[in-house]
Structure 1
Amino acid sequence: SVLYASGYMREQDIFERVFSGEIPWTLRPQGVDIIRTWLYFTVLRVYLLFGKPAFRWARITGMGLDPRGRAMHKSLGNVIDPEPIIEEYGADAFRFWAAAAAKLGDDYRFSKQVVKTGYSFATKLWNIARFVSSFPRPGKDEKVRLRPIDLALLAKLNMVIEDVDKAYGEELDVYRPALTIYDFTWNVFASHYIELVKARAYNHDGKYSIEEQRGAWKTLHMVLDAILRMLAPIMPFVTDALYRRLYNMSVHKTTFPQPVKGVDRELAKLFDMIMNINSAVWAWKKKNNIKFYEKLDKTLYVPAKLEPFKHELEDIHHMKVVATDSPPPDSEELARGVYIA
């Protein structure tokens, strides 16, 4: 109880320091099964004795269930021992399952498949970090030019930071952050942005200026840095290991990331359009048995508003790109506003 933990009637000096504030404790995590017993008893007793709340918040979780949705009981023989699972997949993978299994307050079923997803996510993070670490993080005195694709990704990142910060700070929730960070990292950052800027990051042909090349490096590091800091409460071990390797300090000694200033939120919509174009082109190539990296003597027509992103689209799809709202009449439609000829 909060009284015992505060040293009530045992260590008076500690107790007085703890209970000197308006609300002694910040948070009590507990299951839904003891709301009418221990939660009620604790709140009532502290109020009757001291006239103040026992804690600011009670974080109430559902009940852990077996894969079939049954409560775990020794008599049923369905209790899940976490140790063998942690030994096989790691603590971070198990913690990812615990965060992603259910919304706060809902019962959560054990799922080995979600644990495996957590393991795959940790591996993906490691691979992303290995790629990003091959480029230096530009210093403050180095000239950097961010291209529109960089700003568009940062607009997406800002939305993720705001959503995750609200979930952690206001809702005491880890379910939405786990899924949001996973989706952004895997399906936006890795699958699209990294592929779009890989040519500029290496810049073997000198197509881009050194300032633009550094812009790719800076964005890669900014986004990975933010991902690791956002994910640290859920997957503390892999994030800390990577942060120490890349940035020479513990991720747990950093602050929560803040949205990048001066980035137009509307750019996120353009990044969504680019992802849809990528998916449409990849689907067309797969349908026609064309390798993704094969150079094609074709032209890809995209909406005129995507003119600032033309070079990155040419890099990723290995064909000429024209930004226009009037594609040739004989072109093949791949998606709305996207044609090839």
Structure 2
Amino acid sequence: MTTDTLPDRIDRARRGVAPGGQGPRPRTGKRGSPLSRAGMTLVLFALPSLVLLILLNLFPVIYSFLQSLQQGTPSTLPWETPFVGFQNYIDVLTSDQFVQSAIFTLIFTVVGVFGSWIIGLLLALLLRTRIPGGGVFKVLLLLPWIVPVVVSATSWNFLVATPQSPAPMLLAALGLGDVNFLGDPVLAQIVVCIFKVWISFPFMMMMMSSALASVDTNVYEAAKMDGATSWQAFRGVTLPIISRTTYISWVLMTIFCVNDFPTIFLLTQGGPVNATTSLIVLAYQYAFQNLQTGPATAVAFMMTAVLVIISTVLYRQIQKADVE
């Protein structure tokens, strides 16, 4: 019969030893370091990937920022070009072209985000109802998003680019005169914005469809029993429930619109008379047409700063929606 004391029994219980057994002897001596051998092995395995990620992401950012402080060309190295400090930022901010590009970028982004969101939400609500051929209809609505933007831009150029295109000829046949969609600055801006909405609404439709799928139908039944109309149920029930997904889609679409180079460049190349030159197109013109990498990277960093601010504001709205 064992004469173990209470501390011995507790020690055996911690080590998983049955009563009367000896079990593994407790370790003596100094404790090992917090980072065990297995942990060191994992760190060593992950270290090459971490170094690669730093080189692929952090190094280009630092290199570009150095270029924004210098007066160089795409073919010169930072240590071969004169240092001008923040003069590139000052020159860009005080130029008329930057102001015009910033205004058009704002218009292009607002129309692209909210235009595609409204159409996408309406179509998502429509697809929740039972309509004949709903599956085929849904696939057809995804085509503007699935088709490569080069193909879509080529098709739109065929429709509106010249006076001999189908759309201007149709308007002329209706007695509306000769309309030059891509030759008039205002019409060119309208066409570019409509084209952006057209290729973006399927993305918003998918986002809103996934959000609406999580809404419990019993909530609508309760609202209907309380006497709420369809519009009141939509405004008071649907919109608050899908607000988190809505803010996320706004953040993503804002980034897509501000950084959208092919949509504008393939349609108008920033013309006519720079009417459709967005900030990303302006940065391209600085870098590859004027061979001025300093102003180009300065524009890019200012765009990044604005996107970070907008994303932070919308992210706070996402957090509030989660709390509510």
Instruction: Give the alignment's TM-score, normalised by structure 2.
Output: 0.26
User: Which structure has the larger Rg?
Assistant: 2
Of structures 1 and 2, the one scoring higher in RCO (CA 8 A, sep 6+) is 2
Instruction: Give the alignment's TM-score, normalised by structure 1.
Output: 0.25
Higher helix share: 2
Higher strand share: 1
